[in-house]
C-alpha cells in the first residue's frame, strides 16, 4: 500500500526532540504515569488529538495579517459568513470560539429539564452540555459498529430503527437529533448520506430538529464519495452541500476540518431561534460579528474551510491514516476496521492479552509508546470509562480497550508514521517488560485527565531505548 505524496511542501518547520530513555522514564514518574501530565516539549510525536493541531497554509498565515480587529462588522466576518454560507447553505451564521460553545448556546436555548437528545454518538463535550442543561443524551449507534473487525463502510451511522422507536415512544420529549460526522467517539467512522437522509425524514415526521455536529464534515464527505453508490462523480463540496440540506442546522468545531487552531460556528435557518442564540452569544462570547474570536481568526477559519474540501488534500489525509492502520495490522496488532478519518484505534488487548482490564492494558500501551518512543497517544478504554458498579462495587470494564493515535492535519510525514510503526513493533517484541497499572488518585469526573497511577509490577530497567 502506497501513500500518495502530500499536495503541499514544507515552508516553515517546528523542531521536535526525542528525549533520551532515562529522561522519558523520569517524565513518566513525575507525571504519575498520566500522559496528560507530560509537557509537549518532552513529546517527540504527538498523536494525542487532531483538534486544534493542524498546520496552517501560507494562505492562512497571510490571512492573519489582514485581520480587521474592529469591534463590529469587521471585513473578516464578511468573508467568514460568505464562506460558511456557501458551504452549508444556511442563512444565519454565528461565530463562536470553539465547538462546545455552539453546543452550549443551542442546548441552553432549546432544552428543558428532562428532554432527550439523540445522536449516532454524542461527543463527550456534546453529552456534557446536554446533561448540564438537564437533558438526557441517548446514543443510537448502528449495531453494525459493534464488530471491530467487520469492513462495513459506514460504521458511524445512526440506528434508524432505534431512532424511529425512540421518537415514537417519547412524543414531544426528544428536542433534537445530533448527527456527528464523522462519528468521532465511535472511531471517526463515516455516516452514509442515505442514513443522514433517512434520519432527517424520521425526525421530520415527529417534528424533531436534526443538527449536524460537523467537526469533520469534509472527511465524511470524502468517504461518501469513495464508498457510497452515486457519489463517485460529485465533488466533496457538492456532497457536503447536499448533506447540509438534510438538517436544520450545524454545530461546528473549526479546530478539526476548519484547519484552524481555534474557532467554530453555529449555522441555521430559523430566524427566531437565531435571534435567541445571538442574545446569549453576546452575553457569553462576544458581539455577533466576532463571537469570541479575533478578526484574524475568522479569516483563518474562512480560508481553512475553503482549503479543506480540496480532494487531493483529503486523499492524502485519509490515505495517511489508512497506511498507518495497515502497517499496524501487518505487525499482528488489532485495530478498528476500516480506519476512519482522523485516527487509528488500536485494540490494546491484542498487544497485551495477559494484562487484565482492571489494570488498564490500553494505558499500558500508551505508557510504552511514550517510554519506548516519545510518542503520545490516548487511552479510550477502562481508564477512561471503567467504573465500579453502583450496587455491588465490582469493577465494570469499558466495552473495548482502545488506544487512539490521532493524526494532526498536514503535520507529520510518512517517516514520522513509520517511526510510530517501528516503536509499536519494538513494544510488541518486548512486551514482557511492560506491566499493568493501578490508580493511586482519581477525580470524580473525567478522571483520565488528572488520574495518577502506579505500575503494578516493577518495570524491567534493563530494557534499552530504541
Ligand X SMILES: *Cc1c(COP(=O)(O)O)cnc(C)c1O
How far apart are CB 401 and ligand X at their closest, in Å?
22
In this chain, which of 125, 226, 433, 450 binds ligand X, going by CB under 6 A?
A: 125
CB 69 within 8 A of CB 95: no
Contact map string, positions 141 to 180, toward ligand X, x by CB under 6 A:
---------------------------------------x
Which residue's CB is nearer to ligand X, number 239 or number 266?
266
Active site residue 197: no
Active site residue 72: no
Active site residue 123: yes
Residues contacting ligand X: total by CB under 6 A:
15
Residue 367: CB atoms within 10 A of its CB come to 25
Which residue's CB is nearer to ligand X, number 156 or number 374?
156
Confirm or reject binding of residue 189 to ligand X (CB under 6 A): no
Residues recorded for the chain: 466
Confirm or reject binding of residue 126 to ligand X (CB under 6 A): yes
Dihedral over alpha carbons 100, 102, 104, 108 (to 10 degrees): -170
Which residue's CB is nearer to ligand X, number 51 or number 173?
51
Run of H or E including 364: helix 361-373
Between CA 211 and CA 194 the distance in angstroms is 16
Exactly one of 46, 213, 248, 425 is catalytic; which is it? 213
Q: What is the 3-state secondary structure of 39-70?
A: CHHHCCEECCCCCCCCCCCHHHHHHHCCCCCC
Confirm or reject binding of residue 215 to ligand X (CB under 6 A): yes
In this chain, which of 33, 44, 77, 123 binds ligand X, going by CB under 6 A?
A: 123
CB 144 within 8 A of CB 203: no
Active site residue 185: no
How far apart are CB 74 and ligand X at their closest, in Å?
22
- The DSSP symbol for 257 reads T
What's the Cα-to-Cα distance from 448 to each of 338, 423, 453, rounded to whole Å? 27, 24, 10
Contact map string, positions 245 to 274, toward ligand X, x by CB under 6 A:
--------x-xx-------x----------
Confirm or reject binding of residue 99 to ligand X (CB under 6 A): yes
Q: Supply the angle between the helices 21-30 and 361-373 in degrees, to the nearest 10.
A: 140
Which residue's CB is nearer to ligand X, number 79 or number 97?
97
Instruction: Please tell me the chain's helix, strand, coil percentages from 3-state DSSP, rounded to the nearest 5.
Output: 45, 15, 40
CB 119 within 8 A of CB 178: yes
How far apart are CB 262 and ligand X at their closest, in Å?
8
Exactly one of 71, 395, 441, 449 is catalytic; which is it? 71
Between CA 283 and CA 218 the distance in angstroms is 31
* Cα 384 to the center of its chain, rounded Å: 15
Which of the stretches 84-92, 121-129, 157-165, 408-416 binds ligand X when contact is defined by CB under 6 A?
121-129
Confirm or reject binding of residue 131 to ligand X (CB under 6 A): no
How far apart are CB 329 and ligand X at their closest, in Å?
25
> Count of alpha carbons within 13 Å of 175, Cβ hemisphere only?
18
Q: Vertex 252, ends 248 and 255: CA angle to 5°? A: 170
Which of the stretches 123-131, 153-161, 301-309, 399-407 binds ligand X when contact is defined by CB under 6 A?
123-131
Active site residue 213: yes
CB 196 within 8 A of CB 142: no
Closest C-alpha among 417, 317, 236 to residue 5: 317
Active site residue 33: no
Residue with the CB atom nearest ligand X in the bound state: 99
Exactly one of 133, 175, 256, 342 is catalytic; which is it? 256
Active site residue 297: no
Confirm or reject binding of residue 303 to ligand X (CB under 6 A): no
How far apart are CB 77 and ligand X at their closest, in Å?
19
List, in order, residues 6 or more apart from 433 with CB less than 8 Å away. 459, 460, 462, 463
Exactly one of 26, 124, 147, 201 is catalytic; which is it? 124
List, in order, residues 6 or more apart from 461 with CB less than 8 Å away. none
Contact map string, positions 14 to 53, toward ligand X, x by CB under 6 A:
-------------------------------------x--
How far apart are CB 216 and ligand X at their closest, in Å?
7
Cell of 277: 442564540
Residues in touch with ligand X (CB under 6 A): 51, 98-100, 123, 125-126, 180, 184, 213, 215, 253, 255-256, 264
Which residues are catalytically annotated? 71, 123-124, 213, 215, 256, 448
Amino acid at each position: 500500500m502506497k501513500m500518495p505524496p502530500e499536495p503541499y511542501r514544507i515552508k516553515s518547520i517546528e523542531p521536535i526532540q526525542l528525549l533520551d530513555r532515562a529522561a522519558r522514564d523520569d517524565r513518566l514518574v513525575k507525571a504519575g504515569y498520566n500522559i496528560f501530565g507530560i509537557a509537549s516539549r518532552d513529546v517527540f510525536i504527538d498523536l494525542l488529538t487532531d483538534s486544534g493541531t493542524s498546520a496552517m497554509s501560507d494562505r492562512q498565515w497571510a490571512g492573519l495579517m489582514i485581520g480587521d480587529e474592529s469591534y463590529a462588522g469587521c471585513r473578516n466576518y464578511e468573508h467568514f459568513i460568505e464562506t460558511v454560507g456557501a458551504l452549508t447553505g444556511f442563512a444565519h451564521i454565528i461565530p463562536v470560539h470553539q465547538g462546545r460553545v455552539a453546543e452550549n448556546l443551542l442546548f441552553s436555548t432549546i432544552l428543558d429539564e428532562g428532554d432527550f437528545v439523540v445522536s449516532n454518538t454524542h461527543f463527550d463535550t456534546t453529552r456534557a452540555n446536554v446533561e448540564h442543561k438537564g437533558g438526557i443524551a441517548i446514543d443510537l449507534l448502528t449495531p453494525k459498529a459493534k464488530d471491530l473487525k467487520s469492513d462495513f463502510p459506514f460504521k458511524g451511522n445512526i440506528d434508524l430503527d432505534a431512532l424511529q422507536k425512540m421518537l415514537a415512544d417519547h412524543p414531544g420529549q426528544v428536542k433534537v437529533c445530533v448527527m456527528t460526522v464523522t462519528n468521532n467517539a465511535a472511531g471517526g467512522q463515516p455516516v452514509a448520506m442515505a442514513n443522514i437522509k433517512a434520519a432527517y425524514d424520521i425526525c421530520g415526521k415527529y417534528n424533531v430538529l436534526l443538527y449536524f455536529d460537523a467537526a469533520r464534515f469534509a472527511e465524511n464527505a470524502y468517504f461518501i464519495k469513495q464508498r457510497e453508490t452515486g457519489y463517485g462523480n460529485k465533488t466533496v463540496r457538492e456532497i457536503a452541500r447536499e448533506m447540509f440540506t438534510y438538517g436544520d442546522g450545524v454545530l461546528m468545531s473549526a479546530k478539526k476540518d476548519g484547519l484552524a487552531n481555534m474557532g467554530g460556528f453555529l449555522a441555521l435557518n430559523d430566524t427566531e431561534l437565531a435571534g435567541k442564540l445571538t442574545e446569549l452569544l453576546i452575553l457569553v462570547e462576544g458581539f455577533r460579528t466576532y463571537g469570541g474570536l479575533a478578526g484574524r481568526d475568522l479569516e483563518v477559519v474562512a480560508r481553512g474551510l475553503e482549503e479543506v474540501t480540496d480532494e487531493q488534500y483529503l486523499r492524502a489525509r485519509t490515505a495517511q491514516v489508512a497506511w498507518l492502520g495497515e502497517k499496524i495490522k501487518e505487525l499482528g496488532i488489532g485495530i478498528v476496521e476500516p480506519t476512519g478519518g482522523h485516527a487509528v484505534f488500536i485494540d490494546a488487548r491484542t498487544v497485551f492479552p495477559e494484562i487484565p482490564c482492571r489494570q488498564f492494558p490500553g494505558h499500558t500501551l500508551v505508557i510504552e509508546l511514550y517510554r519506548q518512543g516519545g510518542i503520545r497517544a490516548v487511552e479510550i478504554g477502562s481508564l477512561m470509562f471503567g467504573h465500579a458498579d453502583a450496587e455491588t462495587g465490582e469493577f465494570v470494564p469499558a466495552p473495548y480497550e482502545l488506544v487512539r493515535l490521532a493524526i494532526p492535519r498536514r503535520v507529520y510525514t510518512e517517516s514520522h508514521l513509520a517511526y510510530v510503526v517501528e516503536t509499536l513493533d519494538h513494544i510488541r517484541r518486548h512486551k514482557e517488560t511492560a506491566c499493568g497499572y493501578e490508580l493511586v488518585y482519581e477525580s470524580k469526573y473525567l478522571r483520565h485527565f488528572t488520574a495518577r497511577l502506579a505500575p503494578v509490577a516493577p518495570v524491567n530497567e534493563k530494557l534499552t531505548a530504541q
